[in-house]
Amino acid sequence: MSHHVRRLARSAKAALAVYPRAVLAVDGRTGAGKSTLAQVLASHLRAAGHHVDILPLDLLAYGWDDLAGAVHAGARLTSAFRALGEARYRPYDWERGRPAERDITVAGDLLIVEGCGALSATLAPLIDDGVIVRASRDTREARITARDHYDWSAERRAWEEQHDALTYPPSVRRP
């Protein structure tokens, strides 16, 4: 088990000793391994008896030029989760290029916000702890090619520029 999983699991336990719900974040560049780490972390926390959901920020972006919108939507949903223990959203269907047909509800005692911008200044005040996943450009490119069955290389630079444009709190080392 990675040191990130152990550290975040300890942070979740500490937060849940004080609050009814905890929120963790996994940030990083596209292809860095955010989704994989979030899934491993969620599995570990579920095995410990927690009801965990993952909020993938990329599903909140309504197109290639909407990363900031996704981060703001993520903040609204995270606030709702903190207050109510659940939040509902309509994900974006990247293959069809439009909103999906059904809403998704995240609920439980732990939420993992995963995606580019998860630890940005907009979301950071709502997060109990988080990590920025890092990988070399070559590793990221290989993962993107293996993962995505559609070509978005023309949009990738604009997506990364949007990520670069996000503001991060001084305590967070930028991805």
Secondary element (H or E) of residue 132: strand 129-133
Q: Which two tokens stand for residue 24?
A: 């963790």
Alpha helices (H) in 48-129, listed in sequence order: 67-84
Q: What is the pLDDT of residues 81-101, one digit of tens each?
A: 999 999 999 999 988 889 999
∠ CA(154), CA(160), CA(161), 5° rounding? 100
Q: What is the pLDDT of residues 18-71, one digit of tens each?
A: 999 999 999 998 888 899 999 999 999 999 999 999 999 999 999 889 999 999
In this structure, what DSSP letter does residue 100 have? -
